[in-house]
Amino acid sequence: MLTRRGPALLSWLLLAFAIVWVAIKAFGQGFGISGNGPQFVITALNGVSLAALYFITASGFTLIFGLMRVVNMAHGSLYLLGGYVALDLVNHGMGWWGAMVLAALITGAVGLLVHQALLRWNQGQDLRQALITIAVATILADQMIVHFGATPSSLTPPAELANSIGLGLYHLEYPVFRLFIIGAALVVALVLWLVIRFTRFGMIVRAGVDDRAMTSSLGINVPLVFGGAFFIGAALAGLGGVMGGTILSLAPGQDDQFLLSSLVVVIVGGLGSLRGAAVGALLLGLIEQLSAVYLPQQFTNDSILLTFILLVVVLAVRPQGLFGRRT
């Protein structure tokens, strides 16, 4: 275990301080309904549902990186593309559910195309692949402005998920759709885990993450498996885009936003680790939401800094990420 004791101690202290701070702010006036408890519950749920969205998007990113060592800089563009495609389909009369499935598949196909047409020939050349995906991201961003405009738009959740539901706590109500995203993230995590743990495809993925050259020397057709993984990774970005386009908005700039959040999530969690992506997403989502509410008033605008403090602390203590492997 590569852990540095000094920074580790400091980061535990920081975490403890943050928890105590939030606890005092939230429940300092007691647990009654007149205190700040209700606000805390809503903020925490917002954090967890945002984390769920980050996880869905970043799980695809970490899958692609873990297997191929490709830092897919077009991942955010695929996220936004998924959202826009779903919006287009809905505008053409398709239901939200159908649009979600089709948009994810189309985004996956675009990802597969990028891999087969551009990346496959540059296997192992990390810098070149990063540059290629940046080019793809730039082209996609411009094309999306041409086709979908630059005014923010968003998807309407399907009728059955559009309401709010009582939480049975402080008489609070919460949007069903945000709870649905949390459920969707759990399903994505479960399915990915089952596929990686119990299928032949998943075994090859694990072997490839372990030692790509060795797996290939056993005679396994690694490029084919890579293509499949790229499809799944891109489809997950698209799925994230549909969810994000429903609770947030679809607009130029969202692509960079979600590329950045995916990067933070997998760097914190450890590149290539699914468990790491889950923990990283949870940390990022909670920190973003809680800091916006619980930082002292004069620092509220600096809440974005906390995200990077998280990054710095993790890199100082465990440079390979919380669940990452040393390479």
Partner 1 sequence: MTATAAAPMLRSRGLSRYFGAVPALHGVDLEVLPGERRAILGPNGAGKSTLFNLIAGDLAPSEGTVELFGRDVTVLAVRKRARLGLGRTYQTSRVLGGLSVEDNLYLAVLGARRGHLRLLRGGSERAIRKRAREVAEQVGLADRQHAVAGSLSHGEQRQLEIGLALAPSPRLLMLDEPAAGLSRAERLSLTKMLLELDREVTLIIIEHDMDVALTVAEHVTMLHQGEKLLEGTPQEIRANKMVHDLYLGNTHGEG
Which residues here bind partner 1, judged by CB under 8 A? 199-201, 203-204, 206-207, 209-211, 214-215, 217-221, 224-225, 228
d(CA 238, CA 188): 13
CB of 205 vs partner 1, minimal distance in Å: 10
Q: What letter would DSSP give residue 201?
A: H
CB 245 within 8 A of CB 87: yes
Closer to partner 1 by CB, 100 or 229: give it.
229
CB of 236 vs partner 1, minimal distance in Å: 17
d(CA 67, CA 222): 10
CB of 201 vs partner 1, minimal distance in Å: 4
218 φ/ψ angles, rounded to the nearest 5 degrees:
-80, -5
Residues in the chain: 327
How is residue 281 written in tokens?
């997403």
Closer to partner 1 by CB, 91 or 221: give it.
221
CB 280 within 8 A of CB 260: no
Closer to partner 1 by CB, 71 or 225: give it.
225
Closer to partner 1 by CB, 35 or 227: give it.
227
Q: Which amino acid is at 260?
A: L
Closer to partner 1 by CB, 93 or 219: give it.
219
CB of 11 vs partner 1, minimal distance in Å: 27
Half-sphere exposure of 225 (CA within 13 A, CB side): 23
SS3 164: strand
Half-sphere exposure of 217 (CA within 13 A, CB side): 4
Handedness of CA 214, 215, 220, 225 (dihedral sign): negative
d(CA 281, CA 284): 5
CB of 95 vs partner 1, minimal distance in Å: 29
CB of 199 vs partner 1, minimal distance in Å: 6
Closer to partner 1 by CB, 53 or 232: give it.
232
CB of 180 vs partner 1, minimal distance in Å: 29
CB of 65 vs partner 1, minimal distance in Å: 16
d(CA 141, CA 292): 29
Q: Which amino acid is at 177?
A: F
Closer to partner 1 by CB, 21 or 201: give it.
201
The Cα-based distances of 105 to 109, 139, 203, 221 in angstroms read 6, 20, 23, 24
Closer to partner 1 by CB, 229 or 265: give it.
229
